[in-house]
Amino acid sequence: MGKPTGFIEFTREIPLDRTPAERTRDYNEFHHHMPEDKLRQQAARCMDCGIPFCHTGALLSGMATGCPIHNLIPEWNDLVYRGLWHEALDRLHKTNNFPEFTGRVCPAPCEGSCVLGMNNPPVTIKNLEYTIIERGWSEGWVHAQQPRLRTGKNVAIIGSGPAGLSAAAQLNKAGHTVTVFERSDRVGGLLMYGIPNMKLDKEKVLLRRIRLMEQEGIQFRTSTEVGTHISAQELQAQYDAIILCTGATKPRDLQVEGRNHNGVHSAMEYLAGNTKFLLDTAATGGSGSTSQLPPINARDKDVIVIGGGDTGTDCVGTALRQGCRSVTQIEIMPRPPQARQADNPWPEWPKVHRTDYGQEEATARFGIDPRIYLTTAKRMVGDAQGHVSEVHTVEIEWERNEKGQMVPREIPGTERIRPAQLVLLAMGFLGPEQPLLQAFGIETDPRSNIKAEFEKYCTNQKGIFAAGDCRRGQSLVVWALNEGRGAARECDRYLMGRTQLP
């Protein structure tokens, strides 16, 4: 529980960040570290709250409440407070295979449901998680652990994102021989190419863990697309079980006039291309310089990002590092309130206004928050060469239609022409790509996701399981870890008749 009076004595503190002017000159991670005495004070704020909602992992109003992987947060907070870092790491690894990922990219629903957060700033759970695992790596406590016995069973996992990696780690612990198939040239899926380097360093963090997994016996086959380089039938013949962890990679498009002009791209095309270019050219080595640019880049361009979520923020941050002339982020939803509203009570995820790193950097560069709310794009206009040059926008308001559904309505007289030589569509995803599912004969639900019951993960095909965004739809990295672990448990049960996996 930490210190009994810690939540009264100490206020919430998080590490300082490098200044926007400094960090937008490179792609290096931008958080500073806190001294140990400060960290232990923050852990001391964890209360003896009776029911620790922080690790419930429930869904309320369609949003995560507490940690979806049920991290034993009060336990490792208490151990950090007492200076028992190794023991804290052991507790952390009981539920989380990759705390170095979640400690960086998770939005921390655990903090949203912290009991202290009812009337005070919540415990700094995410930063403490990050610090525990990084302390473990630096002290040499994190090392390869091969299973004592192999079962003789072979499992194929398609997709090496967070769901695929967590499933692989758990099945390997159970003694199965695991091969992960990845169609890209590098392992990691969303973690590798969907999240920019300044949020998750590829060499120092992601590949560090991948190398450890290889030492533990997990095999990775990159540049191998199932259905092209190896057939679904061959895979079923060679492996005792298969887990589909392909993600929800079909982007939501914007069907407006001028959409097909050059210079209009999906956010993932832009972000993945930039990360791949940086890795291929070793631009992140040393200073992580922004002097080199990929084919799709924002240098000296007016950039419009359509979409207000995390992916949109990543587009803003990347465009700034590439040297854009201006950046505007268009959001069709209204600006969230500053504080919780009556219809959004604790312990629900607080739907409040936040300023993420990209908006902070844009404000520092241009003197204004790049976000524009209750606005949508009507058309895109191109120049004589067919390259986008303008985006015509209009303000909207939300109203109920005859079915009682909330729909947007354009407000006459609010049209505006905005210059744009690069337009990035960051409006989310519509589900998994279908050809692979069809090759396996997998049934899908009405949203085109793989049909497999939560906590069971079994598809309609014997011995084939599904986990992560391809089953539940676009979601958080931490939910993908939850599902990968759960699918591994059910796959182990299928192979052995019983399971000891959590």
Assigned token pair, 312: 């949109």
Which pLDDT does position 48 carry in this prediction? 79
pLDDT in tens, 173-213: 999 999 999 999 999 999 999 999 999 999 999 999 999 99
**Alpha helix (H) residue ranges in 376-472:** 434-440, 469-472
Q: What is the pLDDT of residues 300-331, one digit of tens each?
A: 999 999 998 999 999 999 999 999 999 999 99
| Phi, psi for 387 (deg, rounded to 5) | -100, 140
CA atoms within 13 A on the CB side of 408: 16
Sheet with 422-425, side-by-side order of all strands: 264-266, 422-425, 302-306, 326-330, 371-372
Q: Decide the pairing of beta strands 416-419 and 264-266.
A: unpaired
| pLDDT tens digit sequence for 466-478 | 999 999 999 999 9
Q: Report the topology of domain 6-139.
A: Fumarate Reductase Iron-sulfur Protein; Chain B, domain 2 (1.10.1060)
Class of 154-249+430-496 per CATH?
Answer: alpha beta
Specify the CATH architecture of the domain 264-425: 3-Layer(bba) Sandwich (3.50)
Residue 283 in this model has a pLDDT that exceeds 60: no
Domains 154-249+430-496 and 264-425 share a fold: yes
How big is the chain by its Cα radius of gyration, in Å?
A: 23
CB–CB of 80/132 below 8 Å?
A: yes
Tell me which amino acid residue 237 is: A
Residues 114-124: pLDDT tens digits? 999 999 999 99
Who has greater pLDDT, 217 or 290?
217
Percent of the chain having pLDDT more than 90?
A: 91
49-102 pLDDT tens trace: 888 999 888 888 888 899 999 999 999 999 999 999 999 999 999 999 999 999
Parse the chain into domains and list their residue ranges.
6-139, 154-249+430-496, 264-425
Structure token pair of residue 5: 């009076």
Q: What pLDDT, on a 0 to 100 scale, did the predictor assign at position 286?
A: 43
DSSP state of 190: I
Only one residue has tokens 């995410």, namely 126
